[in-house]
Structure 1
Amino acid sequence: MTTTAEAAAPLRVMAVYKFADLPDAADIRPLLAHFCCSHGIRGTFLLAPEGINGTVAGSPAAIDALERFLLTDGPFGNRLTGAEIKYSAATSMPFLRMKVRLKSEIVTLRAPEANPAKIVGTYVEPQDWNSLIERNDVVVLDTRNDYEVGLGTFRRAIDPHTQTFTEFKQFVADNLDPARDRKVAMFCTGGIRCEKASAYMLAQGFEEVYHLKGGILAYLEQVPETDSRFDGECFVFDDRVSIGHGLVEGDATLCRACRHPLTAADRAHVAFREGISCAWCIDEDRQSGAAERQRQIEIARRRGLAHLGDEAARAADIGKARKSRRAEQSRVLRAGEGTAG
């Protein structure tokens, strides 16, 4: 389905994953990389014996061709049939290059008993999610990492305060009990972490484990903002940084020193210095290195030379300027609507 944001933007973003039997992942890797590069597609794919996971961007025609390559025309055969695929839009290329990486897992948990191909929790459609998470007998769990949760999450959701997904196992051991927490509803960005997390929890003896089908991305696309229980923006792993309802690009940016996502309030903090520090990384050692990198970038720009970090910095500047223009247009529109009545 083409959203309003997609229709207005020149680039299409595809997020896709599927737990599938791919013992030939190493053989597929160069074929997938060649196809994407030859079609001007950028982003990252992870391939593992357990499946595929990735987010890429390109022209609408290129992404349509990629979908056919993944599902029918390429080396996967029909093994990716039923893959979870979500589309959004970007006004400029959100990735610097194309990467296809071989991994032991497409989402790292290091728990062999968690095998979504054999057992998985109950999928909940976005339209049914609100009624589930509002029940008092349901534990609502955000399986994402702390910096992602900080930008936005569902009301009543528990933040596990993890920095990596592998820490999820310890959180469950320390905070949840199958005898007490009989119903658990979990969510993540696109659904992949929840599939593995639900498989893990079922293996630990939890009776009823639910997860949001398609993740937050599907919810923000399908559920009207007026009915939403999601507060804030959803962090995404590309130059857009965050997206909001309708899958439109959000307001967040990244600190160039520590890569932590920053809201408008974070950028207004006294600790924020462009390219050098933010409230999340304010320490002398980090500032020194970041300040030197920023100084070298600025020197290279004045001399008309390229710098290793210049392309990423330029992309960040373009994204920040674009978001500022969009915010200003929104303020003007709201002011006009207020004047009209």
Structure 2
Amino acid sequence: MKILNIAAYKFVALQQLAELKQALLEALTARGIKGTVLLAEEGINLFLAAESGAIHDFLTWLRLDARFADLHAKQSWSHAQPFAKLLVKIKPEIIRMNHPAIRPESGRAPAVDATTLKRWLDSGHDDAGRPVVTLDTRNTFEVDVGTFKNAIDWRLSKFTEFPQAVLEHRAELAGKTIVSFCTGGIRCEKAAIYLQEAGIDNVYQLDGGILQYFEDCGQAHFDGDCFVFDDRRAVDAALRPRVNVGASSDI
């Protein structure tokens, strides 16, 4: 497989978004890279694909900007280009929640890495002996492609429904350690902060999301594949593309 796919995000305060958009368009176009970049005052979110050299050259260029120096990109491979075009968009949020008070660029919720989560799931409890539950923050059609065994799934049709779902279901989270998760980490990062601000204790986000978990731990405790928002539709636990899984434009 010759096409390198990357997914990355960072919550960081950004200004002069129009100028940044133009610089990104020029850098990506010059390297023949396709995909989507979302920009907002709260940060950057990107899904891109091209031959390996072009992707690595772009990441080197991007990290020269101090705001993105520590940007971590999750990688997977495909036989063909999964994006039809290049889009760089300015949005109110890089992942829409409609709660302006939730500002991950000002401080993250606690995170748990993939290997620690696997160890907790192996034993059924965290290091303090509390029962551990995983909370899927993704949309229903994504969950139906694959999720952690026994994960809490509130049947969300879009992420903006998450805050109300928390208020309706908070009782089922009491006394447990909650690990919120999503595809690459961006939604569960906002979700974990919201859970904390809603007064729910012992909340973590899965660092790097399902894609990082697959990379570090494989299929353990996970049923199915991980939906992705490009023409691959989903990747398996080895980060290989699946096809004809279903589609939606809702992100």
**TM-score (norm: length of structure 1):** 0.68
Letter of the 2:13 counterpart: D
Q: Does 2:149 align with 1:162?
A: no
Partner of 1:92: 80
Give the Cα–Cα distance (whole angstroms) in 2 for the partners of residues 45 and 111 of structure 1.
22
The answer to whether the aligner puts 1:250 opposite 2:242 as a matched pair is: yes
Q: Which residue of 1 aligns with 2:3?
A: 11
Deviations 1:249-304 (A, max 9, x none): 1244336xx779xxxxxxxxxxxxxxxxxxxxxxxxxxxxxxxxxxxxxxxxxxxx
Mapped partners of 2:103, 2:207: distance in 1: 17
User: Which moves more between the two structures, 203-212 or 41-50?
Assistant: 203-212
Match of 2:101, as an amino acid? E
The answer to whether the Cα contact below 8 Å between 1:139 and 1:181 also exists between their aligned partners in 2 is no
Amino acid at match of 1:247: L
How far apart are 1:121 and its partner, in Å?
2.0
- For the 8 Å contact 2:139–2:156, the answer to whether it is kept is yes
Letter in 1 for 2:164: Q
Could you tell me how far 1:131 is from its partner in structure 2?
2.6
Code of the residue aligned with 1:239 in structure 2: it is D
Richer in strand (by share): 2
Equivalent of residue 71 in structure 2, options 71, 83, 86 = 83
| 2:55 is the counterpart of 1:67 | no
Question: Is structure 2 residue 99 aligned with structure 1 residue 111?
Answer: yes
Residues 1:138 and 2:132 are matched in the alignment: yes
The answer to whether the 8 Å contact 1:71/1:80 transfers is yes
- Report if the CA contact (8 A) 1:95-1:239 is conserved: yes
Point out the structure with max Rg over C-alpha.
1
How far 1:124 sits from its partner (Å)? 1.2
Identify if the C-alpha distance between structure 1 residues 23 and 121 changes in structure 2 by more than 3 Å, giving closer, same or farther.
same
Contact 1:116–1:195 (8 Å) recurs in 2 = yes
Provide the secondary structure at the position in 2 that maps to 1:218: helix
- SS of equivalent residue, structure 2 residue 67: coil
| One-letter code aligned to 1:95 | F
Aligned to 1:264: none
Of the three residues 220, 224, 234, the one matched with 1:232 is 224
Contact 2:35 2:86 in 1 (8 A): yes
Deviation at 1:38, TM superposition (A): 1.3
1:214 matched to which residue of 2?
Answer: 208
How far off its partner does 1:207 sit? 2.1
Residue 177 (structure 2) pairs with residue 183 (structure 1): yes
Question: Which moves more between the two structures, 130-139 or 155-164?
Answer: 130-139
Q: CA RMSD in A?
A: 1.9
Paired amino acid for 2:105? A
Asked if 1:174 corresponds to 2:168, the answer is yes
Contact 1:191 1:215 in 2 (8 A): yes
What is the identity, as a one-letter code, of the residue corresponding to 1:97? K
- CA distance 1:259–1:193, change in 2 (3 Å): closer
Residue identity opposite 1:91 in structure 2: H
Unpaired stretches in structure 2, ≥5 consecutive residues: none
Decide whether the 8 Å contact of 2:229 with 2:249 is kept in 1.
Answer: no
**Residue 46 (structure 1) shift:** 0.1
Question: 1:12 aligns to what SS in structure 2?
Answer: strand
What is the TM-score of this pair, normalised by structure 2? Answer: 0.91
Using a 3 Å threshold, how does the CA distance of structure 1 residues 248 and 117 change in structure 2: closer, same or farther? Answer: same
Q: Which deviates more from structure 2 when the two are superposed, residues 118-127 or residues 148-157?
A: 118-127
Q: How many residues align?
A: 244
Whichever residue aligns with residue 76 of structure 2, its letter is S
Following TM superposition, by how much is the alpha carbon of 1:191 offset from its aligned partner in structure 2, in angstroms? 0.4
Distance in 2 between residues matched to 1:116 and 1:259, nearest whole Å = 25
